[in-house]
Every structure is written in structure tokens, then in C-alpha cells.
Structure 1
Amino acid sequence: MRKSNRPESEPAHDSNANNTRASRRRDQRRRATRMGIAALIALCMGALAFGVGTSGAVAATVPPTATPTAAATATATPTPTPKPSTATPTPTPTTPTPTPTATPKAPTAAPTPTATTTPAPSPTPTATAAPKPQTVVSLTFDDGNADQQAAANTMAQYKLKGTFFINSGFVGGANYFTVANLTSLAAAGNEIGGHTVSHPDLTTLSSDEAKRQVCNDRINLTNWGFTPVSFAYPYASTNAAVQKIVSDCGYNSARGLGDLRSRFGCAGCAYAETIPPASKFITKALDEVDSTWTLKDLQDSVTNAEKTGGWVQFTFHHVCATTCDPLGLTITPTLFAQFAAWLAPRATTNNTVTKTVAQVIGGAVKPVVAGPIVAPAAAGVNGLKNPGMETFNPATGLPSCWMIGGYGTNTAVFATGSPTHTGTGAEAITMSSYASGDAKLLPQFDLGDCAPTVVPGHTYSLRSWYNSSVVTQYAVYLRDSIGVWRYWTSSPWFAASPTYAQAIWTTPTIPTGMTGISFGLSIFLNGKITTDDAELYDAVGAPGTTAPAAATPLVAPPVTGKVETHAGVAPATAPAG
């Protein structure tokens, strides 16, 4: 051990110096420790500040931060306290031991950036084809022919609905639907529409008669439990006045014919009607289907319309396997079924649907409106129109307000009669090849323009001038409140007469429910008869006569004759409609 050079007289001083130096070294160590801790905290705070702050974000790389280094302080090694000795110890010089410099911490490694997943670009949407325009097909049936039931059965099979335009005055007639048939059609979802009472060309009628035909037909259908809102013009014949009548009677639309392009006509026309139509009271339709139409014709009428969309109305009259209509307005049940089977699935494949006319047009159901009432002729007034046959109808070649009647197997030729009883008009009938039935000239079966009105409970005096090579008799027909005409009764025979004679007969009492009358002298043997100057009077107040009257039955027979279905005469160039 080295001895101290201090003298013994300074022991207290030496102790204080040592304490001061020890205190200074402790302070220096504390400062170094505090500075190290501060540097460490700063480094951690920096890491936090630049670290991952948001999920998915890449942490910024923190540059290494130098940790402050405490200044190197020479710290004297403390001298151990000497053991007491009698000898004065020699102080040992103290060599300062350098304080190790704090090694700065390695900079915190920047976290490895998390690979950010770049979302895959959304695939470019495939161009979707524009939806096909909707095409609506309406299957319509005219006149109420009973053979249309075959089409109705097929439509039910394929869940298709149609519109049936009905002449209420023919319902129940031979080969026509009955009310029960119509009820079944409606129950299956088909529409029952109007087609006039007795199928006349409305443009040839007076305004009042046209109103009776249209309005009263709608009343009849309504009274049978149907909701008629759609109408079809007989023969597709119309004008502005008729269209107004149809509207005024409460219908929401009315169909024409032959206004759309097809193989059969209207080459410059559109393939489809617009929805809504330009005019609801002359909606466009294809030519009526007849026996020359093929499946391709039917299909083409639809596919051509599908190019632009719109409304296509088909019109059918007879549905039968054989020739059931002399005009050829037929389609076979097989062909109709093939068309229906092709048409039905197009609702899902081509946006082509089948609807009734009412479904296409829409609109509220309007109240029914009655046509004008025709009063009976006053007492002593002839109730017939054009009784002397002085005016003629160029469309029929017959006297105005008169029509041809007859039935059975025979050949009857009608011509202007000569000589006449008075004036310039008369009508002659020549019968040949007679086997059965008869032929006669009758006041037109209508709703009052021509046919006289009668009162139930009254009797009427029938009078006509005639000359004939064979016997003759009156055939009498009555009209009921619906507008249906039926044969009622016949008079006794009148003898053949080479010169004009007057046939006079008073009817039995008119039965309840009857509103009109028509009658004529008939020929039912091979020969010829000419008639002129017909008259009808209420028996009460009728003018007196000089000729004897045939006997009148004491009891009125019931009206049991079949329903007469004499349609009006079609215009020369018009479709049957």
C-alpha cells in the first residue's frame, strides 16, 4: 500500500473532501441516469408517434435517435477507512476510475411494413341487352257462334283469355251460344263484349235505331250478369256519329278490322296498335282470320309486332274442322291449338302477353243507357213503313224496310212485281224446285225503325193486296223485349187469285213480353205471288174493310218458334265482322 503524503495534523480536512467528492459522484450518476431515462422515453414516444396509428396503415420509418451521452466524470475511488493504528497511515493516492460511457441503445427498428392488399378491380359490367318491348295479343271472337267453344277449351288449357263479342239478339239461336254458355265463358276469365243486338251495318241506320242496337245490346248483356265494356262494329263499319253513339252507350272502346299490316292487306300500315290506342273507338286490328290463314301467318303477325311492341288483335268467327261457314271465315281447332301452344310461352321468352280487350283499355264500368223507345202507331194509323214498296234500298235490292224470309228446301227468286196494285212498287216471288219450307217478304227484323211496335194484350189487323197462282197465308213473327225475333203463328190460307185481292186477318192477343211484329204472305208451293200495299192496325180503331176477314183463333198460341238470326246485309266491300 502506498502511504499518504498528508500530515497527520489534517485528518478532519481529508474526510470532508472525500465526502464532497462522493456526493459529486452520486449527483453525476443520478444526472446520467435521468438523462438515459429521458432519452429512452423520448425514443419510445417517437416510436409511438411514427408507428402504426391506423389499422392497415404502413408505419413510418423512424430515423435512429442518438441517446444523449453523459459527460465522462473522473470519479475517485474511495479510500478505505484505515484501521486504527498507532502509526500514522500514509495516504494512498486515489486514481480516478472513469465512469463508463452509457452505450446508446440501438435505434428501434422500424416495423416491417404490412403489405397492403390492393383490391382487385371490379369486373366491367357486361352490357345487358335492353328489355324487349312488351307485345300484347288479344284473341277476339265475333257473333257468338257456338263452335267457338272449341277455341275456348284450348285457351283454358293454355291459360289464355279471350274477348267474345256477342249479338244478344242471336243468343239461344241455332248454332249460337246460349246464356249458360256465355256464363261459363265468363267464369273461365273470358270477356263478354257487345256487337249490337242483331248485327246491322250501323252506318246505314237512323241515329235512334243505331242507339237501340248498341245501347240495348249492352243492357241485355248486363241483365244476364256480364260487364260489357268493349264493343266491335258489325262489318267493321263505322263513322264519327256511330263512334259517338258507342261511347254514349257506355262502352270504353270499339274495334275495327283490317287496320294492321299482314300478308292479307294494309301493306303500308303498322304491325301493331299503340297502347293506349290513338282512338279507343276505332282500335286497329288484323284482317279477320279465314280458312286461308296458316300457322306461319298467325305467328308472323305476332313476331312482326314484337319488333316494336304494341297491341295485336286477332278476330275469329268460326272454329270448325269442316266448312261450317259459306264465307270461309273459319279456322280449324287443330290450327288454333297449334297457335295457342306457340303463343302461350312467349310471355316468358319474348315479353309477349295475352290479354282481353278490357284489360288493355282499362277504364271504369259505366252505367247502362237505354236506346230510344218507339211508340206504337195511334189508333187508325198504319204502323208499317214503306207499305206500298215505293222506295228501294240499293244495298239489298229490296224495298226499304223489307227483308227476305224463308226456310226449307226450295228455290225462291225475288224481283220487282208487275203489275202493281198502286204506285210503282210491288214485290214478286217465284217458287220452284219446292220440297219444303216457304218464302216471303217481311218488314225488317229490327228494333223499331221498320218493324211496328205492338202492345201486349192487343190484337192487330193485318192487310195486304196480292195476286197469286197458288194458295198463300200470313206468317207472323214477334220480337221480345231483348230484341229476339221468333216465329209466332200463321193465318188460315187465302185462295189463289189471278187479280189483286186483299188478304185480311186479325191476330190473336199479343203475348206478354212481346214488343214488335213482322208478317208477310208466304208461298209454299211451286208458283208465283206478287204483293203490294200492306197495312197493320191496332184492331181497336182500324179502318173498315169490304173484303171478308179470315177467322181469328180464340186462344193465342205461345211463341215457341226458334230464334231468328237474320243479320243485316253487309256493305259490298266490308268484312263480315
Structure 2
Amino acid sequence: MRTAAQHRQNQNNPGAVSQLSRRTFGKRNRWTSVGSVIALALSFLGATVFVAPAHAASPTIVTLTFDDGNDNQVAAAATLKAAGLRGTFFVTSGYLNSPSYMTTAQVQALQADGHEIGGHTVTHPDLAVTGADEAKRQVCNDRVNLTNAGLNIQNFAYPFASSTPAVETIVKNCGYNSARGLGDVRSVAPESAGMPVAATLPPADLYYTAALDQVESNWTLKDLQRVVNQAKTKGGWIQLTFHSIGRANDELSISTALYQQYVNWLRDQKAAGAIQVKTVREVIGGVTKPVVPGPVAPPPNTTDNLVQNPSLETAGATAGTAKCWSPGGYGTNTPVFKQVAGRTGKVAQQLTMSGYKDGDAKLLPTLDMGECAPTGQAGQKYSLKAWYKSTAYTQFDLYYRTGAGSWNYWTSSPYLNASSSWTQGSWTSPPLPAGATAVSFGLNLFSNGVLTTDDYSLTIFK
């Protein structure tokens, strides 16, 4: 059996919960996962290199933004600083101090070096499909968390570029001066060919500022240069969005060498007077507004079953998903989730694991700020139950939420045996850690196999 320490080393990472990035083309459309998007052509503009006319209608301003707070962005920021440039880093506050993410001290150091820090929610949800109170907690409390860390937070970026007019109003009311979208400016993708080459200044919509599609691993130096050169034909503002630099096997990462080449090219373009490189704050302006806390999370639930949608019958916002449930996992493996016939009702969740090398996968009550995750009480024990069929060992994985909204791996149950027929797994947890405000749990697979689950229960142990 894996020890709690061994398990925590790899799993104490909220980002392990599935957060597929989405390609966007056009404001507030629906998005498809990266894996389902058609392959990009080498370039829809051929080998043409645009040269700015002698007098563009307006200056060309380039802003480099970085999402999520990945730890490899620390070196990316240092590269910018060495070139005399500054960027805007949109940080998911609930991920700070977790494996693969920046520490609070590192983010503070970025600000001290002149970079801008912006908000990106507490746990990176799709704000367009969360309830209003949950969206307020995610947006407002993220700004509260970052401000309490001594950071000057004025601007925001939507996770997945997903928003609605109501969400835009929430962002404004939380005290932000602007919010960035994605996919409304011409990029390297053929689908964006009819879009403008740059956003207008001032922005047409402060709370969904137009930006290029996110930079991905198949972008080349010519692609990165092209989006700037084409903007120079008319002038305006382009925001480039990076997630990772130098991370292997990551569709949202470019190599360190390519990034260095691009930063050097931008430095030279700026020195020649062809472009300006500014942070979002420098473009948007405005004062830092007071923080506005989000609504208080629901009080501890004392009903028999604390799990919302325990039998998975209420559909989620995306076809084939259950409301208040999300896939999670970590490591090198290939999990596939789908809905199948239920033990009771119509729906159960099936997980098929292949290509297993390490890590695990599971379905969990959504790790959020109070809309779905069961509210918990520190010091309380809980009784966990779930019905399952499995071709391999499984076990309960447990997580808890801190007062600031970050989620941490807590502990795991002993192994439960494989079973070809419906079997109810059960376990009593240790006391919920001090400071914890919510709990989430799920049955996992940590080998190749098939696991089907249904009818979950979480009750206070008496």
C-alpha cells in the first residue's frame, strides 16, 4: 500500500484535477478541449512577413500574459527582466504553494521585479456554468487572497476564457479594472483568419478584453513574430497568453530556447521603436480599488448525506457529465471517463485506465468554494460509502479545503478489492485537519483497469 507521505508527494496538487484548456474563437462561444481541435496549418498566411508602414494608425502594444501560476514562469519572468521587459502573471491563488506552482514568496518577488500580478480565481472553474454566489467567491476571494499576500491586484483573466455578461458584472463588482478573454484576435489558426489583427485602444469591452488564442506547443518563432508583425500594419493592442515554458509533453508549453529567442526579438523590436511592450496595468490604467469579499460559503451540512447529486443523475453543463462532479488525477496514465447504466437510476460513472505508469484517476465532488463540495468541520470524522464494480484494486482518496480556498490532499483509505458485481465500499476517515472547511472524496484507479461507481454517501461519523 502507498503510504500517505508517498501519496501526498505526488497528489497534493489541486491542478491535478482535470482543467483542460480550451481553444476559443469568438467571444463567449462554447469551447472544445485541446485534444479535439483540428491540427493547425503551418501558417494560414504562408511565409509572408509583414512590415509596418512608416506611420501606423496607432502604436502597436504587445502584452505578455502568463496564466495559472505555474512554477516554470519564475524563470520566464527572469528572462523578461533581463531583456528589460515586464509581463502580467494571472495567478490562481488556490494553487499557490502546491507542487508545480509558484510559492507566495515567488509571486511577491515577481511583483518586486516590476511584473504585474493579476487574478485568475481561487480554483480555476468555468465561471460561465457556476452559480452566482460561487462565481463571486471564486473571483472576489481570489483578489482578497492575493491582496492579503501584499500584492497589488487590478486586472483579471477568465479561466478557459469562459464568461457571460453576468460574470463580467461580478468581476467588475469585485474591484477589477479589466478582464482578459481569448480568441478574438487573429492568431496562427486558420479559424481566426477573419478576425482583427489587434484589439482597439481603448478596449471595446474592459471586462472581456480581446486577445489572441493561447500560445501552444506547435507555435514557431515565425508564428510568434507574425502575430506582432501583422498587428504593426494597423497598430493596436495584442495580448499573448502563455501557460508553461520548457515543460515536456505539455500542449500548452513552448521550449525555453524558443521563448528566449522570442523575448530577444521583442526586446530588439522595442529598441527599434517598432513596438511597445507593456503590462495589462500599464495599458488599462486606473487605481487599485478596495477588495470585496465574496459571499460566505454555506454552513456545515448536518443532513444524512452531505454529497450533492450522490447518484450522478443530475446532468452537468457538458454532455456526459454529472452536476457537481469532476474528474481528477495525476501522473502518467490515460484515463477515460464516461457515463453508463446506473446501479440505481439511469447513470453511473465508468473510468477506464490505460497506459498506466504511475499516479491515479478518480471522480470527485467538485473542488470549489462552496457550491458543490461538502462543507466540513475541523476535528470531525466522516463515514464514506460508494458502490462500485472494478477489475482492479481501488481506494478512497480524500481532500480538504483550507479557509483561503485552496485544496490539499488529505489521506487515503486501505485498498478495496476488485469486484465483478456491485459492492459497497465504506471507510471512516480520521478527524478533519485543523482549519479545514470542506471535504471531497472519490474512488480511484491506480493501475490499468475499469472502475464503475454510483450512489455516493458522506455522513458525519457518530
| TM-score bracket, shorter-length normalisation | 0.7 to 0.9
Q: Are 1:282 and 2:204 an aligned pair?
A: no
Three-state SS of the structure 1 residue aligned to 2:192 is coil
Whether the 8 Å CA contact 1:376–1:455 is kept in 2: the answer is no
CA distance in 1, matches of 2:87, 2:447: 47
How far apart are the structure 1 equivalents of 2:232 and 2:332? 50
Gaps of 5+ in 2: 1-53
Aligned-residue offset at 1:385: 1.0
Post-superposition Cα deviations, 1:330-383, rounded to whole Å, max 9, x if no partner, equal 333333333333323444533632111011111111111222222244423421
User: In terms of mean alpha carbon deviation, does 476-485 or 424-433 score higher?
Assistant: 424-433
CA displacement 1:127-164 (0-9 Å, x = unmatched): xx979843322111112222223321221112111001
Change (3 A) 1:366 1:346: same
CA separation in 2, counterparts of 1:339 and 1:413?
37
Alpha-carbon distance change, 432 to 144 in structure 1, aligned in 2, over 3 angstroms: closer
Q: In 2, Cα distance between the equivalents of 1:351 and 1:484?
A: 43
- SS of the equivalent of 1:537 reads strand
The amino acid across from 1:268 in the alignment is G
State TM-score, norm by structure 2.
0.80
Report the Cα distance in structure 1 between the residues aligned to 2:271 and 2:447, rounded to whole angstroms. 64
Specify the alignment match of 2:179 in structure 1: 254
CA distance in 2, matches of 1:412, 1:308: 46
Q: What amino acid maps onto 1:136 in structure 2?
A: I
Shift of 1:305: 2.9
State the structure with bigger RCO (CA 8 A, min sep 6), 1 or 2. Answer: 2
Residue type matched to 2:305 in 1? Answer: N
For residues 413 and 305 of structure 2, the distance between their equivalents in structure 1, rounded to whole angstroms, comes to 20
Report if the CA contact (8 A) 2:157-2:179 is conserved. yes
One of 302, 317, 321 as aligned partner of 2:228: 302
Closer/same/farther in 2, CA of residues 272 and 433 from structure 1, 3 Å limit: closer
Question: What residue identity is the alignment partner of 1:332?
Answer: S
Measured after TM superposition, the shift of residue 411 of structure 1 is 5.8
User: Residue 220 of structure 1: which of 120, 145, 158 is its match?
Assistant: 145
Change (3 A) 1:224 1:395: same
In structure 2, give the amino acid aligned to 1:536.
L
Q: How many angstroms apart in 2 are the aligned matches of 1:389 and 1:366?
A: 41
- The corresponding residue for 2:374 is 452
- Aligned ranges 1:122-133 → 2 under 5 Å: 133=58
Paired with 2:284 and 2:210, the residues of 1 have a C-alpha distance of 13
Q: CA RMSD in A?
A: 2.8
Task: Name the structure 2 match of 1:182.
Answer: 107
Q: Which of residues 224, 229, 232 is equivalent to 2:154?
A: 229
Verify: 1:143 aligned to 2:68, yes or no: yes
Q: Are 1:267 and 2:193 matched, yes or no?
A: yes
Q: Who is 1:344 aligned against?
A: 267
| Residue in 1 that maps onto 2:280 | 357
- Determine whether 1:311 maps to 2:237: yes
| Mean CA deviation greater in 175-184 or 347-356 | 347-356
Instruction: Find the counterpart in structure 2 of residue 509 from structure 1.
Output: 431
Q: Find out whether 1:399 has 2:319 as its counterpart.
A: no
Aligned residue in 2 for 1:334: 257
Aligned to 2:398: 476
Aligned to 2:119: 194
1:519 aligns with 2:444: no
Matches within 5 A, 1:53-202: 133-202=58-127
- Unpaired runs of 5+ in structure 1? 1-128, 541-577
SS in structure 2 at match of 1:393: coil
Distance 1:428 1:308 in 2: 52
Residue type at the aligned position of 2:236:
G
SS at match of 1:483: coil
Closer/same/farther in 2, CA of residues 266 and 130 from structure 1, 3 Å limit: closer
Using the size of structure 1 for normalisation, the TM-score is 0.65
Task: Give the conservation status (yes or no) of the 8 Å contact 2:307–2:458.
Answer: yes
Letter in 2 for 1:319: I
Matches within 5 A, 1:375-386: 375-386=298-309
**What is the letter of the counterpart of residue 448 of structure 1?**
G
> How many aligned positions are there?
408
* Aligned position for 2:136: 211
Structure 1 residue 536 corresponds to structure 2 residue 458: yes
Match of 1:466 in 2: 388
Aligned match of 1:33: none
Deviation at 1:304, TM superposition (A): 3.3
Aligned partners of 2:165, 2:392: CA distance in 1, in Å? 49
Q: Can you list the C-alpha shifts for 1:112-136, whole angstroms capped at 9, x where unaligned?
A: xxxxxxxxxxxxxxxxx97984332
Moved more, 298-307 or 136-145: 298-307
Alignment match, 1:94: none
